[in-house]
Every structure is written in C-alpha cells, then in structure tokens.
Amino acid sequence: MEEALALEELDLNYYRSKKLYKPVWARGVFGGQVIGQALNAATATVPEQYFIHSLHSYFILPGDNSLPILYEVQRVRNGKSYCTRMVMAKQKGRCILSLNCSFALLENGQPLRHQYPMPECPDPETLPTLIERLKSWSNHPEVPRWYKSYMEKKLVAEMEYPVDSRNTDRITFEDLSHPKKTTKQATKGNLGDNLALHKCALAYASDDSFLLTAIRPHGMTPFHQMMMASLCHSIWFHDPYIRADEWLLCEMESPQSANGRGLAFGRIFTRDGRLVASTAQEGVIRVIQKDRAPKANF
C-alpha cells in the first residue's frame, strides 16, 4: 500500500506518482489509487496537527497507467481551525481528476456525539478471500466463458492488489445469480504509524466495488455485461485516529439508480463499532448488448 500511494516531490506543490495500478478490463488507472495519491499530495502541504475531515473528487478522464500522474496542489486557505486544498491530477496536460479537501484541528470537549450502530457481521478471519471466491467459481458450469477469462486475469492481478476485501454475505455463485440488495465488506492492509497515510489508504480502498452496490437491487451481477465508470467520490472522515491496517467494515447501500447513473453510500466501522468514515459515489452504469464482451472493470 505504501508503494501504491508513494509520490515523488518535484517542486513546491508539485508531486508525481511512482506506481499505478490498472484493474483487469478497466478503462484506466484504479480511481481509488488516484484519490489516495491526490490526498497524499494535499496532506504533504498541511501542518501535521491538522487532520483530513472531508474530500470531494470528480473523475474527468481515465488515467493512463503507462505514464506518471502529475499532482498540482493549490493552497486555497490556511485558517486557525481549518485548511483547504485543491488538487489537480494531470496527464499530457489534461486534468483527469479534481479533488477538494479540508483539514481541521482536533477539537476536544465537544459534547455532541452520535452515530449509526454497526451492523452485526461475522469475524473477518472466518470469511473467504476474493482469491478463494474466484477459485470456487472458476469451474462452475453456469459462469459465462468471458467471465472465466476475467477471473483468470483477476487471480493474477489480485496478488499485486494491496487490499484484502472480504464479503460478509459469504457470497456464492448462486448468490451472484440471485443477489441480495445490500453488501458489506471488510478491508485490511499493512502500514506503519503515519496516521495521515492510513487516511490515504482508506481513500484508496473505499473505491473497491463501490458502484456494484447500485446494480444489486435490480438483480444484476458482475456476470451481466455492462459499462461502469465512477463520476464522483466523497469521503467524510469522522475520527482522526483511523488505522487502515486493522479490519474495517464497510456497509454499502444504494438509494437510487436512474438516467444511466447509480448512487451508492457507505459507512465504515472499526472492529469495536466506531463509525470512522462515511462515503458516497455516483457513477455511469450502462447495460450493453449480451453478445459483446464488457470493456469496463467490474
């Protein structure tokens, strides 16, 4: 994960990516990585006593993983309690992502505090990994041929992916054929003690399979051929002390899909039940012809 988020400082307010990841059949670089690197660039320009509390980003163009991404940070405001930054991620002179983020000082002693309760779920150690799930589906007779090809490539790519994502539904092939309307996932990585880096890692992982939540109410699955692409992504960090190398539960839901777009919300809990972040994403969802192989990432 540290390698996936690492940046090279070129000059004041300018940073460049070192490593980029393109998912299988994706149109471009994994969006979560671009968000995480953009947040990492913004964090480098803010005093250490300020913590990220929210970010809002727009995906404009697919990123090319054969070229580095240049991150330009604008120091919009340094206030007494809040700092604001704007980041433009660029390739070939064109902006591929814009990100606005706000940092705040920790305020102790404030009495107002409430949160949604954490849903009940099995222990993450008892759940199969994505690799184990893909292997269990690979020989199923009802899996489409084109999806088997995807799974073969996904198994290879998963060895390089820095996030361990496990579905708490203990999902089987039959579940995919007749999906439920909600999904919950847990993620895990390995990081040091830099809390700012943990926020960037959470931002990276928060984009994992998020938009798929918006197709489940329709009885659709990754086996259906469609084009999906993220348009915008927001995160609210409720607690400055988040560790992304410990198990986190992400409960995801979709309030609406219409006009070729789907909307998904997420709530991220620590293992002891603290709601530490909330997320939202809207993306393009277009069903394509059944006889054509999909070109977007699932």
281 is catalytic: yes
User: Does residue 265 sit in helix, strand or coil?
Assistant: strand
CA–CA gap between residue 219 and residue 233 (Å, rounded): 24
- 33, 57, 230, 254: the catalytic one is 230
CA–CA gap between residue 97 and residue 94 (Å, rounded): 9
Backbone angles phi, psi at 121, to 5 degrees: -160, 160
Neighbours of 221 (CB within 10 A): 18
- 57, 207, 208, 225: the catalytic one is 207
Give the strand pairing for 248-258 and 261-270: antiparallel
**With contact defined as beta carbons under 8 Å apart, do 58 and 24 qualify?**
no
Alpha-helix residue ranges (DSSP H) falling in the chain: 2-5, 31-43, 130-137, 145-158, 173-177, 195-205
Q: Is 113 exposed, middle or buried (0-12, 13-18, 19+ CB in 10 A)?
A: exposed
- Known catalytic residues are 207, 230, 281
